[in-house]
A and B are shown apart, each in its own frame.
Chain A
Amino acid sequence: MENPGKSSSNELNQLLAKMNQEGGFPISILTDSAGLAIASAAESGMNADKQSAVVAFIQKTAVQVCKQIGFTSSEEISLFDKDGRHLICRSFRAKNFDLILSVIVPDRSTSYRHVTSVTIKKIVEIWSHYWE
């Protein structure tokens, strides 16, 4: 019998690895809104667990901030460093679950939007399939 959790996680890990390859991202993580890692793909030396904790922390605070200032929840957070590297956290919903896909983009010239949008669409499909 198929274990939906394990199978979907494998499929999601592969999906993220493929996205990293296409987008040139050193690391990508899919977490739930509490910051628990669901899937990840990273170059050697990158710590996905640490990364997901940071992402969740930033995302949670952003949600609180948006609420406090009377805006709707954040859909995307982009944090740029002085070398042009940026951390992108994109929030989306899949079957009533709030998920966050985050990637590190190595420089300003690398485009991330299209690649991550395609991946988000596929994640929603996989999620819907396994959690029907």
Chain B
Amino acid sequence: MGLKGNLRDMTVADLIQHQCADRKTAKVTIVNSSRTALIFFKGGEVVHAQLDKNEGEEVVFEILRWEEGTFAVEAAIDPPKVTIDRSWSGLLMEGAKRIDEETHESDKQKSIQAGMQEVKGMATRIDEILQEMSGEMNGFFASSVTGMDGMSIAQLTKGKVDPEIVSAQLAVFLKLASSSSDKAGMGDMEDLLIQTADHFVMNVFLPGDNQHFLTTIVDRKNGSIGNLRMVSKIYAERISKAIPR
């Protein structure tokens, strides 16, 4: 009677290594749940493997991933055919490489998913802050948090204005104004207010970050510059803390 065991005690890779190092000719049956794989060894090389309707080295690569199951070795059983010509060490190396790549890919996916969750959570938090801020301002019209690349992170509007266009346009303007401020004999820009006939448009850089800014628009009939500036600064601070860095 041949060797029998559990994959928890001996991995598939160890099993192959063991048979090949001893230059065995044998048939190994591995059962994982309801699936049964067969590996045939001839003179210390893996020459054939089959699982379901599949054959060849791809089967070996698949069962190298199995961590649960049982195995049984029957010595001196000749293979029914030869479907593998790669050396046993080459097979194990290729199998290990594939597992590494899959693990890396899976970690990457997890990291992307975690990042997306974080961004989604951040956007929700900023949306909530903007909503709260709108209640603190008379004549609130619209607000947005935008990166200097013109991409809007969050926005809230109560008027007929396209926040995407506003964000992109203001980013260009702020970049220009920021780079011009030293030429005008000024230091680093902190905020920029545009007054039109009907609106005040306040742009405040988020504290500790010249890469994002908060834009708040109020109508002139009901809003006031002092309130706009003060509330914008308070909420810029809160939004800055909500952005993961």
Q: Flag whether A57 is at the interface (Cβ < 8 A).
A: yes
Q: Flag whether A41 is at the interface (Cβ < 8 A).
A: no
- Take A73-B196, A79-B177, A80-B189 as given contacts and tell me if A65 and B184 are in contact as well, using a CB distance cutoff of 8 Å: no
CB contacts (< 8 Å) of A70 on chain B: these are 160-161
Q: Flag whether B3 is at the interface (Cβ < 8 A).
A: no
CB contacts (< 8 Å) of A51 on chain B: these are 184-185
| Cα distance, A64 to B172, chains bound together (Å) | 11
Contact A69 B169 (CB under 8 A): yes
Q: How far is the CB of A77 from chain B (nearest CB, A)?
A: 5
Q: How far is the CB of B146 from chain A (nearest CB, A)?
A: 13
Q: Flag whether A123 is at the interface (Cβ < 8 A).
A: no
| Cα distance, A55 to B186, chains bound together (Å) | 12
Q: Is the interface of B mostly helix, strand, loop or mixed?
A: mixed
Contact A71 B190 (CB under 8 A): no
Q: How far is the CB of A126 from chain B (nearest CB, A)?
A: 25
| Cα distance, A104 to B170, chains bound together (Å) | 22
CB contacts (< 8 Å) of A83 on chain B: these are 187
Q: How far is the CB of A71 from chain B (nearest CB, A)?
A: 5
Which of chain A's residues 30-61 have a Cβ closer than 8 Å to chain B? 46-47, 50-51, 54-55, 57-58, 61
| Cα distance, A65 to B195, chains bound together (Å) | 12
- Take A58-B176, A69-B169 as given contacts and tell me if A78 and B192 are in contact as well, using a CB distance cutoff of 8 Å: yes
Contact A50 B198 (CB under 8 A): no
Contact A54 B183 (CB under 8 A): yes
Q: Flag whether B1 is at the interface (Cβ < 8 A).
A: no
CB contacts (< 8 Å) of B186 on chain A: these are 79, 81, 85-87, 104
Q: How far is the CB of A41 from chain B (nearest CB, A)?
A: 14
Which residue of chain A is the closest to B198 with respect to CB atoms? A72
| Cα distance, A73 to B193, chains bound together (Å) | 13
- The count of residues in chain B whose C-beta lies closer than 8 Å to any C-beta of chain A is 31
Q: Flag whether B209 is at the interface (Cβ < 8 A).
A: no
Contact B189 A81 (CB under 8 A): yes
CB contacts (< 8 Å) of A68 on chain B: these are 165, 169
Which residue of chain B is the closest to A46 with respect to CB atoms? B185
Contact A72 B197 (CB under 8 A): yes
CB contacts (< 8 Å) of B191 on chain A: these are 79-80
Q: How far is the CB of A68 from chain B (nearest CB, A)?
A: 5
**CB-contact partner of B196 in A64, A66, A82, A104, under 8 A:** A66
23 residue pairs of the A-B complex, CB under 8 angstroms, read A26-B185, A27-B185, A46-B185, A47-B185, A50-B183, A50-B184, A51-B185, A54-B184, A58-B177, A61-B172, A61-B177, A65-B194, A66-B194, A71-B196, A75-B197, A76-B193, A79-B184, A79-B191, A82-B188, A82-B190, A85-B186, A85-B187, A87-B186
List 16 additional contacts besides A69-B161, A69-B170, A71-B198; criterion CB under 8 Å.
A50-B184, A58-B176, A61-B177, A65-B173, A69-B166, A70-B160, A74-B196, A75-B195, A75-B196, A77-B195, A79-B177, A80-B192, A81-B187, A82-B190, A85-B186, A104-B185
In the A-B complex, the 10 residue pairs with the smallest Cβ-Cβ separation, listed nearest first, are: A81-B187, A76-B195, A72-B197, A78-B193, A81-B186, A54-B184, A71-B196, A65-B169, A72-B196, A69-B166
Residues of A within 8 A of B (CB): 26-27, 46-47, 50-51, 54-55, 57-58, 61-62, 64-66, 68-83, 85-87, 104
